[in-house]
Structure 1
Amino acid sequence: MPKLASAYLTESDPAKRAAYAKAWMDISLDFFADNQSWPQGRNLSAAKRLAQLVSTFSVFRADPGIDAGDLVAYLSGVHATTNYLVGVLPVHFGNNWYMSMARSVHAAAVFLPEFSAASGWEWFAMRSAERFLRTWLKGDGVYREPAFNYQAYVADMLNSVIALAQSNGRAVPDALVQGADWIADSLFATRQPNLEPAAIGDTPNDTAGTSAIRRSGVRNSWSDFTWVASGRTHGTVPTLSSTVFPISFAVQRSGWDADARYMLINNQNTSYTASHRHPDDLSLVMAAYGRPLIVDSGVGDYSATPTNEWMRRQTEAHNTVEVDGEPQAKSVPRTTSRWRSNAGLDIYRGAAMGYRPVEHDRVVYFVKPGFWVVSDALTGDTAAHKYRQLWHFPGDPVTVNSTTKAATVGFDTVPGAAPVAGVRLIPVATSGAAVTPPGSTTMAPYGSASGCSPTSTSCRTTGPPAGRRDWTRSWFPARPARRPR
């Protein structure tokens, strides 16, 4: 619909303009004809379509080819659809659909204040947004859905409401502005050196969060936000170093240049258990010297293919510890118990209970600026379990030294040649553990639209832990001999 409106505004041929206006009306009336007959699963689509139709009303309504009777039918459709969304909104309180629907109700109220119900719609939309933020914005400022894509989407919906209200002289509750800025702050702080979000949870969009960061930067004159959102072309270089959001995640970084060393530790404690959550507690994402080195498989799309189901539903798809070949459980406690950061060293410690009674405790040390030490402890049960410490690489070749068990990941390696210096995984010897190179029969097939390929190593043990199993790995990223093209 925005493309149709843009084409209409830029077209000088009256016949083409009339055709565009007719198409807009035909699409609108066809949509409204389905009002209240669509299934609950289409409420989000309905809300998005309503927002588009309402925002383009001012573009097409005065076209001389628009029939007056059709305009009446259009306005009746807007009224009925908005009332319908008001009625079903509470059903979707726990996720981003709620904010999208509230945004659409608000848009109908502001764009068409002539409706007698408009003032009530506007009040309802604002109060709904405030209630949503009070309930689902966590104490560290991170929105509850554990996926950067949907955290960004909620911020975008808030900013849409704020912009429309302010441009029409409406008061905006402080909570909405604060909520949008808090979410943008977490999106800003977790940006990778390439200024993209890490592919945590359902995050298929590599620009997710850019708009939210930009808008908060402009609103608050935060020049470092502008620098990130503009791709390093405007604003000032951020001074924020390593940081923690204690209910959600931590970032260890050497700086903000494109070659910076970066590690995201994901451990989002949330009651959200629906589709956008992945079983990825205490998973890591790492980048250095202009390249992703340890990657999350992310998400391709939402079709129920074996690959997509594996990426979204299996702990094996993430850089954490898997127990007994099963995915981590939902709705379990996750905690951050230690954070220290100074010029020479960062320390993160967190725990997750995805395999009760087994507790996974992970400590990540960043010895600046050169390497990381990752230490895992599995405690809480004396029964025998199979543990796998999983690492995923972005398609680079991997070799494992049969004596030291150190794994070397190629970095700009020419196909068929031995891997050049890239990143090295150096295990501390643990009885019963083994480093398994790509292609091992213990590994499931790896692959995703985000760039993961069948190249992964895993550490596993099948013996009884005798109350505790410890693994420690050191990661050494090395500058490539030549920069990747």
Structure 2
Amino acid sequence: MKAANSVPLADESLLVGDFDGYSWDALLAYFQDRTHVNYFPISKGATKHVADAEYILANEFEFNNEKYKLGESFDWQTNPSKDLEWLILLHKFYCLKDLAGAYDYTQDERYAVKWMGLIDSWISQVPDGFIDSQVTGRRLQQWLLSYHTFVSKWHSQTISPAFLGRFMCSVNSQTHYLCAHLTPEGNHRTLELYAIFLVAATFPELSSAHWFLEFSKQKLLENMRQDLLLDGVHRELSTDYHHTVLKNYLRFRGLASLNQIDLPTTCDVLLKQAIEFSYYVHKPDGFIPAINDGDCNSYLPLLKKTHSYYPDAHLQYIISKGEEGVPPAQRSRGFTDSGYYVLRSDWSVKPYGDALYLFFDCAPLGFGSHGHYDALNFEMAAYGHSLVVDPGRYTYSEISEDGINWRKYFKGSSAH
């Protein structure tokens, strides 16, 4: 695989010793052909991706209902919007999903050219850590997920050896930055750790990969112990955010399982406790009560995914709404560390959705800013209907056209 008259390896310390002297031509061929690194299946490309990717080819980007057409060689650090969040979303590179999806659907090399061009222009203009660490974490995830489509799956002929070198050097540099500048706590820290873990799993050939892996595993366990109360409930005490956190942690478990990476045993113990709260908190209709900030969502698809990692007859019963598996031994559960109590009629009620359900909130305000003033609040459901509900967050905005601060209202006691 070595080539004497090819693009030189820019920095031999970037990769482990087995790759000393390899050219980037040889390395590109290696990364296209390797089979020992696994990743989550990427959604198949569709016509929607093609339609959206056409706007990206023209440098038209839309975030938060604001669309701007940027110049052919635009400045990544100039924000066309008054809203900083617009620039943040641009730097997170969510647009790469559409380019990868469009390429997967068509194999049109225009999308590969644009993929390289956007990443290359960002590398040439923007220093590591621009804006904040969680943006770096999101960007790394999007870069690597789309990399799998263009390089690993389709072996795009547009991808040049020189670009691969710049790409890997930047990924390595951004990951080192992220390790040194983790958000102190919370969901952003979790996604940043997952980005580090993803880099280590995707590129074990990096000389820093083993260190990235051990660092992210150690910090993951510390984060889980800090995030989850002893009864398995997330400390922000939002039923919705509990599942966001659970989803983030399950990404670690899933990627580790795919690549035969061992996680600390305690991680699995903590995850199982968080999963148990999830299946008790779901109402008979398959939705969760919107306690504190959050919305009334169903996380049964997420629980179905957890079952593949942690097979459990009780969990299967919840997922299938009583059609398969074994009913949980307890009808009702108290989660005493969080102050949440779930009461229900017998699990054997048919149809499953007709069971009686009560969620009783005896919890404190919760960590962070997502708590509502809802002491002794409750939700009640019976015979397939939610009878008394918590309205949830409704909005995060404190400004409305009618002059009413609905954010303040829905956090207040009178809304409960």
TM-score strictly above 0.5: yes
Verify: 1:226 aligned to 2:321, yes or no. Answer: no
Q: 1:84 is matched by which residue type in structure 2?
A: Y
Candidates 387, 393, 402, aligned match of 1:293: 387
Partner of residue 194, structure 1: 285
Structure 1 residues 216 and 58: CA distance shift in structure 2, 3 A: closer
1:257-296 equivalences under 5 Å are 257-269=352-364, 272=367, 274-296=368-390
Tell me, yes or no, if the aligned pair for 1:263 and 1:285 is still in contact at 8 Å: yes
Q: Rg: which structure is higher? A: 1
1:274-353 equivalences under 5 Å are 274-305=368-399, 306-318=404-416
Verify: 1:8 aligned to 2:94, yes or no. Answer: no
Q: 1:28 is matched by which residue type in structure 2?
A: I
Verify: 1:50 aligned to 2:50, yes or no. Answer: no
Tell me, yes or no, if the aligned pair for 2:393 and 2:407 is still in contact at 8 Å: no
Measured against aligned partners, the alpha-carbon deviations of 1:50-99 in whole angstroms (never above 9, x if no partner) come to 2122133222123101233332222222122212221221x332x11111
Shift of 1:269: 4.2
Partner of residue 70, structure 1: 163
Structure 1 residues 5 and 152: CA distance shift in structure 2, 3 A: same
Q: 2:258 is matched by which residue type in structure 1?
A: S
Partner of residue 481, structure 1: none
- Paired with 2:242 and 2:290, the residues of 1 have a C-alpha distance of 12
Verify: 1:36 aligned to 2:123, yes or no. Answer: no
Cα RMSD (Å): 2.4
Structure 1 residues 276 and 49: CA distance shift in structure 2, 3 A: farther
Partner-residue secondary structure (3-state), 1:226: helix
Partner of residue 56, structure 2: none
Shift of 1:10: 3.9
Measured against aligned partners, the alpha-carbon deviations of 1:110-167 in whole angstroms (never above 9, x if no partner) come to 1011221111111111000111122332121212111122211222122111111221
How many residue pairs are counted as aligned between the two chains? 308
More strand by share: 1
More helix by share: 2
- Paired with 2:324 and 2:117, the residues of 1 have a C-alpha distance of 43
Structure 1 residues 170 and 79: CA distance shift in structure 2, 3 A: same
Bigger drift between 224-233 and 44-53 goes to 224-233
Partner of residue 237, structure 2: 146
Partner of residue 393, structure 1: none
Structure 1 residues 118 and 239: CA distance shift in structure 2, 3 A: same
Shift of 1:270: 6.8
Tell me, yes or no, if the aligned pair for 2:357 and 2:381 is still in contact at 8 Å: yes
Measured against aligned partners, the alpha-carbon deviations of 1:346-375 in whole angstroms (never above 9, x if no partner) come to xxxxxxxxxxxxxxxxxxxxxxxxxxxxxx
Q: State TM-score, norm by structure 2.
A: 0.67
Partner-residue secondary structure (3-state), 1:292: strand
Partner of residue 335, structure 2: 245
Structure 1 residues 145 and 115: CA distance shift in structure 2, 3 A: same
1:96-135 equivalences under 5 Å are 96-135=187-226
- Paired with 1:300 and 1:169, the residues of 2 have a C-alpha distance of 42
Identical columns (%): 24
Verify: 1:79 aligned to 2:172, yes or no. Answer: yes
- Paired with 1:156 and 1:30, the residues of 2 have a C-alpha distance of 32
Measured against aligned partners, the alpha-carbon deviations of 1:397-425 in whole angstroms (never above 9, x if no partner) come to xxxxxxxxxxxxxxxxxxxxxxxxxxxxx
Partner of residue 38, structure 2: none
Shift of 1:243: 1.2
- Paired with 1:312 and 1:47, the residues of 2 have a C-alpha distance of 32
Q: 1:298 is matched by which residue type in structure 2?
A: G
Tell me, yes or no, if the aligned pair for 1:149 and 1:204 is still in contact at 8 Å: yes
Partner-residue secondary structure (3-state), 2:353: coil
Tell me, yes or no, if the aligned pair for 1:148 and 1:199 is still in contact at 8 Å: yes
Partner of residue 400, structure 1: none
Shift of 1:224: 3.0
Structure 2, unaligned runs of 5 or more? 1-95
Structure 1 residues 270 and 214: CA distance shift in structure 2, 3 A: farther
- Paired with 1:253 and 1:27, the residues of 2 have a C-alpha distance of 53
Measured against aligned partners, the alpha-carbon deviations of 1:443-470 in whole angstroms (never above 9, x if no partner) come to xxxxxxxxxxxxxxxxxxxxxxxxxxxx
Shift of 1:241: 0.6
Partner of residue 82, structure 2: none
The structure showing larger relative contact order (alpha-carbon pairs under 8 Å, at least 6 residues apart) is 2
Q: 1:69 is matched by which residue type in structure 2?
A: A
Q: 2:385 is matched by which residue type in structure 1?
A: R
Tell me, yes or no, if the aligned pair for 1:204 and 1:301 is still in contact at 8 Å: no
- Paired with 2:228 and 2:114, the residues of 1 have a C-alpha distance of 40
Q: 1:291 is matched by which residue type in structure 2?
A: H
